[in-house]
A = this chain, B = another copy of it.
């Protein structure tokens, strides 16, 4: 059997327990006011070990979504020059499919209590940019000019993030994220583009 205790010292913690500890503290005293030392202490490990599990403090919140975005970016880059609407959509949609309530959903829901508004603005901006850039790249390599590709990518990225936010604020009900996203996509078409 492959798994089950290979050689070496066993892990003293896990991403899950660290993320739990972090979220508790974020709710209790806010995101800014919680240092990495605080998180590590509550999880019972040293500060150094925190970085064996997460690359940064914000990674606790974003690693789940980031992995999905990275996957989607690979799919989009693989589309090459024959990208069209449906293939792009097929590449992007898995980002939201089966997205379980996680630290990010909790943070979106309790942004005010965590004092996270500024941080969230900043961090969602980065994810927006990544997704938009990936989509725009696909659009551009299928012949659309720069600015239009940017706007297209931006709209799609916003559809993802906005539906995610609405879903999280509504309590992260199980199946409704995909529904929110589909509605967002529909919104892109019939907007008052005055």
Contact = CB atoms under 8 A, between A and B. Distances in A.
Interface of A: 84-86, 121-122, 124-130, 132-133, 144-148, 150-152, 154-155, 157-159, 161-163, 166, 180, 183-184, 187-189, 191-194
Given A128-B154, A155-B158, 12 more contacts: A121-B130, A124-B129, A132-B158, A146-B162, A147-B163, A147-B166, A147-B180, A148-B187, A151-B159, A151-B184, A152-B191, A189-B193
Stoichiometry (number of copies): 2
Contacts of A150: 158, 161-162
A98 B191 CA distance: 30
Contact of A129 (B128, B152, B183): B128
A129 B122 CA distance: 8
Contacts of A163: 147
Contacts of A183: 147
Contacts of A124: 125, 129
